[in-house]
Amino acid sequence: MSARAISLVRHDGDACVVALNGEHDLSSVDELIAVLEQATSARGMVVDLSATSFIDSAVLGALIASHRTAEASGRRWALVVGKGSGAAVRRILELTGLDAVMPVYAGLGDALAASLPSQSGLPT
Amino acid sequence: MSARAISLVRHDGDACVVALNGEHDLSSVDELIAVLEQATSARGMVVDLSATSFIDSAVLGALIASHRTAEASGRRWALVVGKGSGAAVRRILELTGLDAVMPVYAGLGDALAASLPSQSGLPT
Amino acid sequence: MNDEQVQLELTVASKAENIPLVRHAVAGFLDGHELPEELASDVLLAVTEACTNVVQHAYRGSSSGEIEISAEYIRSELTIAVRDRGLGFAPRVDSPGLGLGLPVIAALTHNVEIRPIPPSGTEVVMTFSLDP
Amino acid sequence: MNDEQVQLELTVASKAENIPLVRHAVAGFLDGHELPEELASDVLLAVTEACTNVVQHAYRGSSSGEIEISAEYIRSELTIAVRDRGLGFAPRVDSPGLGLGLPVIAALTHNVEIRPIPPSGTEVVMTFSLDP
Ligand SMILES: Nc1ncnc2c1ncn2[C@@H]1O[C@H](COP(=O)(O)OP(=O)(O)O)[C@@H](O)[C@H]1O
Ligand SMILES: Nc1ncnc2c1ncn2[C@@H]1O[C@H](COP(=O)(O)OP(=O)(O)O)[C@@H](O)[C@H]1O
């Protein structure tokens, strides 16, 4: 059915964006965990679900773990859930009340800005 | 029905024994957590379930947490499950396979000896 | 074994201190029947887990609520239902527990059903087989 | 709505890589009926969680096994069963997961039943109500 992909992009100011495309579940979670780990070297990171059609609790577990690791080391972490996010994505976030536990943005721009509040170290 | 109690006894060589008498569940778990915390100041600790008629997963959770805390700080921790332990006690330990995760002894003597392997700091 | 339908109905406030009370009431109910000791113990453990879930999860946020327990023998089966009128079944990433309650119930029962009750709340129906 | 009984039967090896396959097969089955999009999405999420549980828990230790999925419409209900022939339902203190699978299933379904199947294994039967 839908193709799936996990991409990692480094942005200026040392923020990483991990974008999930298509459907993700236990069969791709090891790859996801590896990519999330690479991203934690950055000052801030964003997980972009705006083109994610499906995630389940296995994927959610990986996101929660990544968020906790980032928090523990004082790094910024944000989630993007947009119009292109599938119904299952919205549903599982709603059911688990995860938007209360981690910062969720509707667009990548906002999430990036939040994950890097002080560009080049200069407070705004 | 059966009376319940939680007792804390300090033994020579700095081992603490926390004994649960009767039935324990969510209604006594806060007290149990508090007593387990007091006991963690000792070099070794034993949780004695040999007169425990009932425990559930809430109690088990407190025991697992106490065991983890002890392990993380290099302290010894052991469980006693004996003939006087109730059917539910044996059952929940068996179901969760907990005896594979933590040291379980049939008698307090053995558990105490294991929780303090080197009396007065002299290796045997 | 009794072929008639024998029932227990019990409603208590959803508080931790009432969990032993429920367990003892169910134990009393079981006493009237020739249940193997191990099976009776399994039933009491499963009922306790279901009540603990109500106290910990069903009425989050709202100040009060009740646990409704019913038990009945139908031929060679014992069915125990634990009901709440809470917010409905919902996963919690911030659960204070280790997530062992439901798996313990499922492991102890012959069958467990979880379903919402209108207008709100959850019913957990546990069935135990009395056939050896 | 179709009043006849329409069925899907599917057996795959219990491997993570087969989970999308199961989901897509069930999606195809649902496509033949006029299911609201949100409900179809809930069904696929619940089926995925049940299959994930089989892959992660049912065949611990033993090298291989299968996931059996059956789905059928009976009047205004959709029932999907996910079966394994594994070791049987058991709680795990060392679970790799967060314990969200069963609660997610229970929250998404109208009714969920968990029961052992002889001689060994577990059946998770999920019912979805098609009435609005
Ligand atoms: N009666 C209930 N009402 C609402 N949610 C419930 C209820 N019982 C269980 N739950 C949900 O199911 C989850 C799993 O329950 P359980 O397996 O007992 O683990 P734990 O209570 O340790 O979290 C709970 O964390 C909670 O989110
Ligand atoms: N098919 C199965 N066979 C055996 N045990 C199972 C099965 N499905 C679930 N379990 C048990 O139930 C527990 C709870 O499952 P779940 O709520 O999905 O959480 P998680 O998989 O994250 O641990 C698992 O940890 C496991 O012990």
Question: Is pLDDT of A117 > 70?
Answer: no
Q: CB-based contact (8 Å) between B65 and chain D? A: no
Regarding pTM above 0.95, the answer is no
Q: Is D98 exposed, middle or buried (0-12, 13-18, 19+ CB in 10 A)?
A: buried
Average pLDDT over residues A22-31: 98
Query: Is residue D78 within 8 Å of residue D127, measured between CB atoms?
Result: yes
Average pLDDT over residues B39-51: 94
Q: What is the C-alpha to C-alpha distance for residues C114 and C91, in angstroms, rounded to an integer?
A: 13
Confidence of residue C98 (pLDDT cuts 50, 70, 90): confident
Question: Using the beta-carbon criterion (under 8 Å), do D114 and C91 form an inter-chain contact?
Answer: no
Per-residue pLDDT, B120: 45
Degrees (nearest 5) of the Cα angle A7, A13, A17? 15
**3-state class of D113 per DSSP?**
strand
Residues paired with B5 in a beta bridge: B21
Chain D interface, Cβ < 8 Å to B: 90-94
Question: Is pLDDT of D132 > 90?
Answer: no
Q: Which residues in chain A touch residue D53, judged by CB atoms under 8 angstroms apart?
A: none
Starting from the CA of residue C100, give the closest ligand: 1
Report the helix count and the strand count for chain C, using DSSP H and E.
Answer: 3, 5
Q: What is the C-alpha to C-alpha distance for residues A47 and A25, in angstroms, rounded to an integer?
A: 15
| B95 min Cα distance to partner chain D (Å) | 6
Degrees (nearest 5) of the Cα angle A26, A29, A30? 120
Each residue's pLDDT tens digit, C46-94? 999 999 999 999 998 777 899 999 999 988 899 999 999 999 999 988 8
Q: CB-based contact (8 Å) between B99 and chain D? A: no
Q: Which residues in chain A touch residue D27, judged by CB atoms under 8 angstroms apart?
A: 1
Q: How many other CB atoms are there within 10 angstroms of residue D88's CB atom?
A: 16
Residue nearest atom 27 in ligand 1 by C-alpha distance = C91
Q: What Å distances lie between residue A30 and A33, A62, A69, D3, D64, CA to CA?
A: 5, 9, 17, 43, 20
Q: What Å distances lie between residue C5 and A20, A28, B30, C29, C77, CA to CA?
A: 56, 51, 39, 13, 11
Among chain C residues, the shortest Cα distance to D53 is held by C103
More confident call, D74 vs A86: A86
Can you tell me the ipTM of this complex? 0.91
In the block, tokens 């859930």 appear at A81
Average pLDDT over residues D97-119: 95
| Structure token digits, residue C56 | 């910990």
Query: Is residue C14 within 8 Å of residue B22, measured between CB atoms?
Result: no
Q: Is the CB of C106 under 6 A from ligand 1?
A: no
Question: Using the beta-carbon criterion (under 8 Å), do D100 and A54 form an inter-chain contact?
Answer: no
Reference A100, options C60, B10, C129, C67; nearest CA is C60
Q: Report the relative pairing of strands B104-105 and A76-80 from DSSP bridges.
A: unpaired
- Least reliable range by pLDDT among A27-31, A97-101, B26-30, C122-126: A97-101
Q: Which residues in chain B touch residue C109, judged by CB atoms under 8 angstroms apart?
A: none
| Structure token digits, residue C116 | 């919402």
